[in-house]
Amino acid sequence: MSKAIEALQKRMQAAVDALDFEEARRCRDQINLLRGGAAPEAVERADLSGIERQQPGAMGLGTSQQRMTPPQGWKPPRKPDPMTKGRSSRSAGKRGR
């Protein structure tokens, strides 16, 4: 396994020297998978396109979840009137009898 890691490190360094940072990122992610115990065959087949590194300062539960951002100019709708103004809960029970 160390030979595979060494080969990936050389490939990553060659990509960095050629300013191909996307390839270097793929090699780095494959190295991390190998160090984590994945089989070399599985690493070659792994889809790493959706993996994102966690940002410093944004750690904790739920920080990897997307945040919805409303479209520009969107305003939330008005809250509906519950039509309870001037009524008590006691008088509503007596009407039903």
> pLDDT of 43-64, one tens digit each?
777 777 666 666 666 666 666 6
Residue 5's pLDDT band (cuts 50, 70, 90):
confident
Task: Report d(CA 95, CA 87) in Å as an integer.
Answer: 12
The confidence score (pLDDT) of residue 50 equals: 67
The confidence score (pLDDT) of residue 89 equals: 63
Task: Report d(CA 3, CA 42) in Å as an integer.
Answer: 16
pLDDT tens digits for range 68-95: 788 899 998 888 877 776 666 665 555 5
Nearest C-alpha neighbor of 43 from the set 27, 22, 24: 27
pTM (two decimals) = 0.49
51 touches 29 (CB < 8 A): yes
